[in-house]
Structure 1
Amino acid sequence: MREFNFELLSEEDVIIVNATILNKFKFRLALDTAATHCTIDSNVLYFSGYELKNSKGELEIETANGIIIVERYDIEKIDCLGITKNNFEVQVYDFLSHGIISDYDGVIGLNFLKDNKFCIDIPKKEITIDI
């Protein structure tokens, strides 16, 4: 079992976790238990060395703010919360061109966590994961 601490400065804050692609590009994801899939900003993909032209195709998804169209990509290796996924499909969206500016670069969805038992302890500000 692994433990990860997080900060919540106010009730409006989201839980932010660190992630890496190919053990070299580090970025931050919001832990979103309502998200079914991982979605990352296209800039993360680009700076990780991926060609944006190599999309597997578009997908229409529903978000809290309405329907958006994302691109699908296979990430060779992504690590987050002590979990490593190889050849893992992520949804990619161009945050900046759609006016999205935030402290994080996407969301980690339940498809990333589905093979692990995890607990989010808000009072302790701790995430525990059976790996």
Structure 2
Amino acid sequence: MTYSFERMADGGLIIVSITLDKKSKLRMVLDTGCSNTTIDSNALYLAGYELKDAIELVEIETANGIVESEVFEVHQIKSMGITKNRFQIQVYDFLSHGIFSNYDGLLGLDFLEGTKFCIDTDLNEITISNK
């Protein structure tokens, strides 16, 4: 299946939509350099999760160094025809760390696990197929 994506105004970031728990629609950057999907804590809170729902605390390496991040297990995350149930995500408070953006997080390679995908930046399309 082929899915269209949005590009940021500068032509760099690839923006895709996700549905969290069949109700919350979020805008995510597709980041193939990111091992784990990471969502802004404010977006997760608005989706109905609370900080007490975290299952562990991990250290992650970012462009700005190593930071601590909570890990949550969400009921379901869906994008580009892929559905993951009981999917673990990392949560980071963008605002408190000075990150002001018009997206809600990073969709990492863990979400694409088990798929074959091709990103066509000329047509702004992603083709997804199961292995």
TM-score, normalising length: structure 1: 0.93
Give the corresponding residue for 2:88: 89
1:26-74, CA deviations, whole angstroms, 9 ceiling, x for partnerless residues? Answer: 1111010100000000112111111211211210010122111100000
- In structure 2, give the amino acid aligned to 1:105: D
Pairwise CA RMSD of aligned residues? 1.2
- In structure 1, give the amino acid aligned to 2:79: C
What is the CA distance between 1:7 and its match in structure 2? 3.3
Higher fraction of strand: 2
TM-score, normalising length: structure 2: 0.93
Give the corresponding residue for 1:27: 26
Give the corresponding residue for 1:3: 2
**Residues 6 and 16 in structure 2, CA contact (< 8 A), matched pair in contact too:** no
Please state whether the residue corresponding to 2:6 is helix, strand or coil: coil
Give the corresponding residue for 1:61: 60
Give the corresponding residue for 1:70: 69
What is the CA distance between 1:108 and its match in structure 2? 0.5
Identity %: 52
Give the corresponding residue for 2:38: 39
Q: Distance in 2 between matches of 1:67 and 1:23?
A: 32
Give the corresponding residue for 2:79: 80
1:4-29, CA deviations, whole angstroms, 9 ceiling, x for partnerless residues? Answer: 11233434x20000001111111111
| TM-aligned CA distance change 1:7 to 1:20, over 3 Å | closer
**Residues 55 and 71 in structure 1, CA contact (< 8 A), matched pair in contact too:** yes
- In structure 2, give the amino acid aligned to 1:103: N
Unpaired runs of 5+ residues, structure 2, are none
Please identify runs of 4+ aligned residues in structure 1 that moved more than 6 A.
none
Q: Distance in 1 between matches of 2:5 and 2:18?
A: 14
Q: Distance in 2 between matches of 1:60 and 1:10?
A: 30
Please state whether the residue corresponding to 1:45 is helix, strand or coil: helix
Unpaired runs of 5+ residues, structure 1, are none
